[in-house]
Amino acid sequence: MERVLIFTVLLFCSCTNNKFYGHVYDYDTEQPIQNVFIEINGIKIQTDSSG
């Protein structure tokens, strides 16, 4: 749940011109999380080692 909140905040803070930028971090360790699947408006992407 906390991960979703952090991602959502990053997502809305970093969107310009319909492009989204951000990283997915673990709330407790503050380490990037890889292999997270994200879907926005039908476009799917997976995070890499930098989250």
1: CB partners within 8 A, 6+ apart:
none
In a domain, 51, yes or no: no
How does residue 2 score in pLDDT terms, banded at 50, 70 and 90?
Answer: low
Q: Which of 4-8, 38-42, 44-48 has the highest mean pLDDT?
A: 44-48
Separation CA 36–CA 25 (nearest Å): 10
The answer to whether the pTM exceeds 0.75 is no
Residue 43 near residue 51, CB atoms below 8 Å: no
More confident residue, 4 or 26: 26
CA angle 18, 3, 33 (to 5 degrees): 85
Summarised one tens digit per residue, pLDDT across range 16-41 is 566 667 888 888 888 888 888 888 77
In a domain, 10, yes or no: yes
**Amino acid at residue number 42:** G
* Number of domains comprising the chain: 1
Domain residues for 32? 2-46
